[in-house]
Amino acid sequence: MGEERARLHARVNGLVQGVGFRYFVLEAAHRLGVSGWVRNLPDRQVEVVAEGERGRLEQLLATLTQGPPGARVREVDSQWLSPRGEFQGFRITH
């Protein structure tokens, strides 16, 4: 039996726009096999919603706290929710 599935909702604060953060998240999500989306917010944060196995989402969350070279992550505000199974793949959205 597979690991428990979950939904991660995260907002990343800091210098996270204009540094390739969304593409960094996209690559990490594909590598980890999780689905969902990432987008820039008007308040200069980056928002991520992802679903998959809880362990893989925990790895994604750890990746968000690192960020790509050039980013300076100040804080990641995250929530764990019940999965809805609504995503096909992972994408950058607006």
In a domain, 78, yes or no: yes
- For residue range 70-94, list pLDDT tens digits in order: 999 999 999 999 999 999 999 999 8
In a domain, 93, yes or no: no
Quickly tell me which residue has 């590598």 as its tokens: 31
- For residue range 8-46, list pLDDT tens digits in order: 999 999 999 999 999 999 999 999 999 999 999 999 999
The number of domains in the chain is 1
Catalytic residue annotation: 22, 40
d(CA 4, CA 6): 7
In a domain, 32, yes or no: yes
In a domain, 70, yes or no: yes
d(CA 72, CA 91): 22
Q: What's this model's pTM, rounded to 2 decimal places?
A: 0.95
DSSP 39-62: EE-TTS-EEEEEEEEHHHHHHHHH
Query: What pLDDT score was predicted for residue 34?
Result: 98
CATH number of 10's domain: 3.30.70.100
